[in-house]
Amino acid sequence: MKKNKYFHVYILQSESNPYMVKIGKANNLKRPMYFGEAGYAGITDWKQAVTIITDSNEAAYAIEAMIKAKLYNQGFLMPKIMWDDLKKPGRRVGATECFSCHVDYAIQLGIEMADIYKEHIA
């Protein structure tokens, strides 16, 4: 997978459970699609709920960290979920970026953190 410079933070949700959310950052558009194909956290119906476009990799890291910190502090971080990678049979992995909040709240928080970053940090 070739990397590009489309830096962004993504918020994924399970289509069957709007309270199963994954937050991450990437520098290409293909990364979020990987999670459903691989069965990340034992879930195959991940869909991208929102993309927060940033100007740099550093900005994406910062906004991602701010969102995750806020969700963690509010008690939404799920314990590590062990899962079998469907793209690499025999590979067992731990998912550590899943949160048990409603996707709408995660999106609202993502927008809020991006605005704070732009106003006070960038």
Give the containing element (helix H, strand E) for 53: strand 46-53
Output the CA torsion 3→32→62→1 (10° steps).
Answer: -10
- Asked if residues 92 and 82 have their Cβ atoms less than 8 Å apart, the reply is yes
Span 89-103, pLDDT tens digits: 999 999 999 999 999
Residue type, 52: I
Q: What is the 3-state secondary structure (H, E, C) of 30-93?
A: CHHHHHHHHCHHHCCCEEEEEEEECCCHHHHHHHHHHHHHHHHHCCCECCCEEEECCCCCCCEE
Separation between Cα atoms, residue 96 and residue 22, nearest integer Å: 9
With a pLDDT cut of 90, the percent of the chain lying above it is 88
Delimit the domains of the chain by residue range.
8-120
Q: In what order do the strands lie in the sheet with 46-53?
A: 46-53, 8-14, 17-26, 98-99
Separation between Cα atoms, residue 105 and residue 1, nearest integer Å: 31
Span 13-24, pLDDT tens digits: 999 999 999 999
pLDDT at 107 over 90: yes
pLDDT at 120 over 70: yes
Which neighbouring-strand residues pair with 48? 12
